[in-house]
Amino acid sequence: MFYIHQTVCISPQITFPEANLEQLIICNENKLYAKEPSYEGIPTGILRRMGKAVRLGVAAALPLFKLNDQLDGIIIGTANGGMEDCIKFLNQIMQYEEGVLTPTNFVQSTSNAVASQLGFFSKNKGYNITHVHRGLAFENAIIDAEMLLDDNKEHTYLLGGLDEISTYNFNIDYLCGYIKKESITNADLYTGKTEGSIAGEGVSMFVVNNNSKDAISNFRAIQTIHTTDDKELAAVFKKFLAENLSDRETVDLFLTGENGDFRYENVYETLESILKEDTVVARYKHMCGEYQTASSFALWLSGWILQNQNVPMHMLKTSLKKNEIANIVIYSNYQGFQHSFMLLSKV
């Protein structure tokens, strides 16, 4: 367990530099693109050579570097890193039949490009790592941060999750059946009865340490599991709740990654039925779209909810029956087999 301090989120919603979440930003054609900022502070020449993932990552981290000159390391979760650069380079290989190629796209195509650029920008020689385990890439980044903070009580780390929509991963996700065949808007994400979701992207960064003073939230526990068995998942969830919440505590908000893919609706229903009647159920994928590290958006959003004691109407699946939201459980489900539960509490 640890504390979350400053955060930055660049997403398809209004989250940067200040958040305004009441009004849902609408997207079309099954793609929720992040609202890219003006990138002040990144020299134009460097910016031009950056792929979107690197650009977003650096833009989100720069304000946090300004506030913290003593970060002990950089921990990033990203399933694809710079997919756009990766396929650009691949296309060059094919189109120029392995001719003379420029290395820029290759260097930026590696998944660790974001974490390493952040190390480079902040001259940070500390721990630097990139977790890429698809739908649990960000979760492993959290586990890593948690273990580091347990060993190094005085340390402060930058923790982040990000992925981009590139033409290429959209094509691949589409062919995999992860994207809806019919075109919908994000406002209608939960109303259809079809397979697939809508693509999303974004970056969320967190400054984390063991200091409760002035913290936004308290990250208390995380559990991951690979399974396609609902019964096993339910058992893991029950155990997670029993182990991490005291008898006096309740889950005030259950924030789920429901994504409009009707194949997994029953999974969410099964888990919701485990919780008490008065737990508020809310959803977030209509805000950020589906991507492997979308749980980083959910973590940012949960911190915002705890701080503001407000759940925007468009997020609610059940009615808001709580006076105070103190404990939030975030549930993430990537393609029905990679799951995570996180418990976040008010400080």
Q: Is 174 in the site for other proteins (CB under 8 A)?
A: yes
Which residue in the set 27, 71, 136, 255 belongs to the binding site for other proteins (CB under 8 A)? 136
Nearer to other proteins, 165 or 306 (CB): 165
Nearer to other proteins, 217 or 224 (CB): 224
Site pattern 288..327 for other proteins (x: CB under 8 A): ----x-----------------------------------
Nearer to other proteins, 18 or 151 (CB): 151
Stretch that binds other proteins, among 12-20, 62-70, 168-176, 186-194 (CB under 8 A): 168-176
- By the 10 Å C-beta count (0-12 exposed, 13-18 middle, 19+ buried), 63 is classed as middle
Q: Is 79 in the site for other proteins (CB under 8 A)?
A: yes
Binders in 95-124 for other proteins, by CB under 8 A: 97-98, 100-103, 106-113, 115-117, 119-120, 122-124
How far apart are the C-alpha atoms of 197 and 180, rounded to whole Å? 5
Locus of tokens 């580091």: 148
**What are the beta bridge partners of residue 14?**
20
Count of residues that bind other proteins according to CB under 8 A: 66
**Which of 317, 320, 273, 304 shows the shortest CA–CA distance to 8?**
304
Which residue in the set 171, 194, 212, 308 belongs to the binding site for other proteins (CB under 8 A)? 171
Handedness of CA 66, 71, 77, 82 (dihedral sign): positive
Nearest distance, CB of residue 107 and other proteins, angstroms: 5
Q: Is 144 in the site for other proteins (CB under 8 A)?
A: yes
Q: What single letter denotes the amino acid at residue 199?
A: A
Nearest distance, CB of residue 110 and other proteins, angstroms: 5
Please calculate the CA angle 238-241-245 and round it to the nearest 5 degrees: 155
- By the 10 Å C-beta count (0-12 exposed, 13-18 middle, 19+ buried), 46 is classed as middle
Stretch that binds other proteins, among 75-83, 189-197, 200-208, 272-280 (CB under 8 A): 75-83
Binders in 13-42 for other proteins, by CB under 8 A: none
How far apart are the C-alpha atoms of 345 and 228, rounded to whole Å? 29
Nearest distance, CB of residue 331 and other proteins, angstroms: 17
Which residue in the set 2, 16, 33, 127 belongs to the binding site for other proteins (CB under 8 A)? 127
> Which two three-digit tokens encode residue 64?
């946090």
Nearest distance, CB of residue 309 and other proteins, angstroms: 33
* E strand segments, the chain: 2-10, 31-32, 73-77, 127-131, 156-163, 199-200, 202-209, 217-226, 253-256, 280-283, 327-334, 338-345
Alpha-helical segments (H) within 182-294:
230-244, 265-274, 285-288
Binders in 223-262 for other proteins, by CB under 8 A: 224-227
Site pattern 45..74 for other proteins (x: CB under 8 A): -----------------------------x
- By the 10 Å C-beta count (0-12 exposed, 13-18 middle, 19+ buried), 287 is classed as buried
How far apart are the C-alpha atoms of 110 and 85, rounded to whole Å? 9
Nearer to other proteins, 283 or 339 (CB): 339
The answer to whether the beta carbons of residues 21 and 288 sit under 8 Å apart is no
Interface ranges with other proteins (CB under 8 A):
74, 79-81, 86-87, 89-94, 97-98, 100-103, 106-113, 115-117, 119-120, 122-137, 140, 143-144, 147, 150-151, 168-169, 171-172, 174-176, 224-227, 292, 337
